[in-house]
């Protein structure tokens, strides 16, 4: 067995860890670019636990507020702002969009090339400056990956930039920062995390450490998702945050699968939230992969308490897939992408866009272009 595992230099997890952010930043520099969504910093818990302590520190803070779907231009504007203020490090606070933007700004800080050049194939060959991740959602896992998913505005294509040097220097996961997530956002981000965990666990590239992380992530998410969605209580929020973190760590090593291969082009074309598209596609992907993954799904069913240990492998696997489908329904996610605007004439373009990507290569069952077409037609 041979594998290469990348992890952040330091992970701080638990309620109250956000109060340690100023001290962690001061270890890395004095001038900071803080990347966030338009409204993220106005939330009371973020003001009390992140912004006010930073304002009371000796750090010089510069702000870069971004739109919900990050693009190459968003990163370029952040890079210009960071360089003009000669910052020492970048901090991303928010969901996956803010974290991906911060990661790319730090990663390409020293480059003179536009970000779009890297999205189109230029090799990342510059040394990054440090970046620190502070997630406020339980879903993307971007805080512990080397990937930044961005849109190239000229062709409308969403794709990943990645480099092993792009791992965060410090990750601060304070579950209290996720408490203000509304139900809909809780559903979408949670489905993204669940998809990460399942696809990493069944990946063709999975190894023992990432399998262990992914399996525990599935258990945590399955047992706490609906409670976090309906009650928003602290304990299930904390378990969801941990599950998302572990799923991201597993994904960073094992890769994703066909859900993510299709979700990126579909979401980009119709401007749909990534987690929503993942939630719609996940049951279809589970059914497609069942023939190869029956043992994997059964084990996830046993571990999560969905199936009893004396149930047969086939029964446990079927119960797990049924559970996921029912969960998606209970979260109010549509059963088809047709309800979200998917058009039959667009399907072939999405299939073409998905081929050759790492997500499709990692999928446990080889999926032909005809297979992908069939899945999207069923989801129409």
How far is 91 from 104, CA to CA, in rounded Å?
11
Structure tokens at 168: 């965060």
> Residue 90: what are its φ and ψ, rounded to 5°?
-120, 140
pLDDT at 159: 83
Q: Where are the alpha helices (DSSP H) in the chain?
A: 21-28, 44-46, 52-55, 72-84, 96-107, 115-119, 183-202, 208-230, 234-254, 258-270, 274-304, 313-330, 347-354, 358-362, 369-378
Residue range 19-35: mean pLDDT, rounded:
97
**pLDDT value at 155 more than 90:** no
Residues in the chain: 380
pLDDT at 45: 82
Residue range 317-339: mean pLDDT, rounded:
96
Percent of the chain, pLDDT > 90?
Answer: 89
What does the pLDDT look like over 204-256, one tens digit per residue? 999 999 999 999 999 999 999 999 999 999 999 999 999 999 999 999 999 99
pLDDT at 356: 74
Helix (H) / strand (E) element for 131: namely strand 131-135
Residue ranges of domains in the chain, CATH in brackets: 10-177 (3.40.50.1970), 181-378 (1.20.1090.10)
Single out the residue of 57, 68, 65 nearest to residue 29, CA to CA: 57
Beta bridge partners of 71: 151
Structure tokens at 100: 């991906």
DSSP labels, 292-304? HHHHHHHHHHHHH
pLDDT at 190: 98
pLDDT at 156: 76
pLDDT at 44: 84
pLDDT at 138: 96
pLDDT at 234: 95
Share the mean pLDDT of the chain.
95
Structure tokens at 210: 């990432």
pTM for the model stands at: 0.96
Which range, of 36-40, 108-112, 113-117, averages the lowest pLDDT? 36-40
pLDDT at 53: 93
> What burial class does residue 345 get, using C-beta atoms within 10 Å of its C-beta: 0-12 exposed, 13-18 middle, 19+ buried?
exposed
């Amino acid at each position: 067995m041979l594998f290469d595992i990348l992890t952040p230099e330091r992970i701080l997890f638990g309620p109250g860890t956000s109060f340690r952010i100023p001290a962690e930043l001061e270890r890395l520099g004095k001038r900071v670019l803080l990347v966030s969504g338009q409204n993220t910093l106005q939330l009371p818990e973020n003001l009390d636990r992140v912004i006010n302590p930073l304002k009371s520190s000796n750090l010089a803070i510069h702000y870069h507020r971004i739109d919900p779907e990050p693009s190459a231009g968003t990163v370029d504007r952040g890079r210009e702002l960071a360089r003009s203020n000669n910052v020492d490090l970048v901090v991303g606070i928010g969901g996956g969009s803010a974290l991906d933007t911060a990661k790319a700004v730090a990663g390409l800080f020293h480059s003179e090339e536009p970000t779009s050049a890297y999205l189109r194939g230029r090799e990342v060959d510059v040394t990054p400056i440090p970046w620190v991740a502070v997630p406020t959602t339980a879903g993307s896992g971007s805080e512990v990956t080397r990937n930044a998913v961005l849109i190239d505005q000229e062709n409308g294509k969403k794709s990943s930039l990645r480099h092993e040097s792009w791992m965060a220097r410090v990750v601060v996961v304070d579950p209290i920062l996720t408490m203000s997530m509304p139900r809909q956002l809780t559903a979408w981000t949670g489905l993204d995390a669940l998809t990460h965990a399942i696809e990493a666990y069944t990946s063709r590239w999975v190894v023992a450490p990432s399998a262990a992380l992914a399996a525990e992530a599935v258990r945590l998410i399955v047992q706490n998702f609906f409670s976090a969605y309906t009650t928003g209580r602290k304990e299930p929020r904390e378990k969801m945050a941990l599950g998302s973190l572990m799923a991201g760590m597993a994904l960073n090593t094992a890769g994703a699968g066909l859900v993510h291969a299709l979700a990126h082009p579909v979401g980009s074309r119709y401007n749909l939230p990534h987690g929503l598209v993942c939630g719609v596609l996940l049951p279809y992907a589970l059914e497609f992969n069942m023939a190869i993954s029956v043992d994997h799904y059964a084990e996830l069913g046993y571990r999560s308490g969905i199936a009893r240990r004396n149930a047969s492998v086939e029964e446990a696997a079927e119960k797990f897939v049924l559970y996921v489908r029912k969960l998606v329904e209970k979260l109010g996610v549509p059963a088809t992408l047709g309800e979200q605007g998917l058009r039959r004439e667009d399907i072939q373009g999405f299939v073409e866009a998905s081929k050759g990507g790492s997500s499709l290569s990692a999928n446990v069952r080889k999926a032909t272009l005809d297979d992908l077409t069939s899945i999207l037609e069923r989801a129409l």
